[in-house]
Copies of this chain bind each other. A is one copy, B any other.
Amino acid sequence: MSLRKPTKALPNMAEADIAIVRIAPESSFKNKAYDALKEAILKMDIYSTPEPVMLDERALSERLGVSRTPIREAIAMLEQDGFVKTVPRRGIMVVRRTKSEIVDMIRAWAALESMAARLITTTARKKDITALRDYFKDFNKDRLPEDHVEEYSRANIAFHQALISLSESPVLVDLTNDLLLHVRGYRQLTIGRKDRTATSLPEHLGMIEALEARDTELAEKRARDHTLGLAAYVEAHGQELF
């Protein structure tokens, strides 16, 4: 917590000159394993095979070069997050979401983002709201989003995260980030599909306008309807994605 009390052996020594830098906390193996496994799970395409993807404690501990104990603790954490499910004497499987679960998550996301929009209209600085446009500055009628789907998808996600951050609500930020990981981690394709991008950009700009106008109700509505639109889209067209 506090640094060691400075020695007084040399009464006039320059105590502050050593420029101590606050030693690095060196994250534990447990947390390193958690991060590594989480990233690996989000990166893998678990829907490409019909059989559930299984993890093996011993194999993982060997791959990561640590014992099973920190691996097991990381697994327990991932299970709390809903990324894996361990079945005794059966194995650890990566959880596969159904379409309706994804739709459900997007709806919750819509709820949280619309609340973020509401809060932003009353607290955020105009400068910060306007800065949200920057995420789409590379797209216009000469450079359509639907012609750069991957790039637009990334901008899309960055925009939404920046928007939520403007609410200055840690809870909203954390909850939406978690949902986003589940929704997009498995299928990047879900967001930014070509036929969504056409309507996406104008809706985003509409949201920003409402925020700038400090129109609480309108901003909330536009944020909600935009994301609910995504939910409806997935519900209608997402069958083949899962």
Measured CB to CB, the residues of A under 8 A from B are 1, 25, 28, 30, 69, 72-74, 76-77, 79-81, 87-88, 90, 101, 104-105, 107-108, 110-112, 114-115, 119, 169-172, 175, 179, 224
Which of B69, B74, B175 lies in contact with A175, CB distance below 8 A? Answer: B175
Within the assembled complex, what's the spacing in Å between the Cα atoms of A179 and B115? 15
Which of B1, B69, B73, B108 lies in contact with A112, CB distance below 8 A? Answer: B108
With both beta carbons as reference points, the residue of chain B lying nearest to A220 in the complex is identified as B224
Within the assembled complex, what's the spacing in Å between the Cα atoms of A193 and B115? 25
Within the assembled complex, what's the spacing in Å between the Cα atoms of A110 and B87? 35
Count this chain's copies in the assembly: 2
Residues of B within 8 A of A1 (CB): 87, 90
Which of B107, B115, B170 lies in contact with A101, CB distance below 8 A? Answer: B170
**A110 to B115, Cβ gap below 8 A?**
yes
**A104 to B170, Cβ gap below 8 A?**
yes
Within the assembled complex, what's the spacing in Å between the Cα atoms of A76 and B1? 20
**B28 to A172, Cβ gap below 8 A?**
no
Within the assembled complex, what's the spacing in Å between the Cα atoms of A110 and B116? 11
Residues of B within 8 A of A115 (CB): 107-108, 110-111, 224
Residues of B within 8 A of A110 (CB): 115
With both beta carbons as reference points, the residue of chain B lying nearest to A106 in the complex is identified as B171
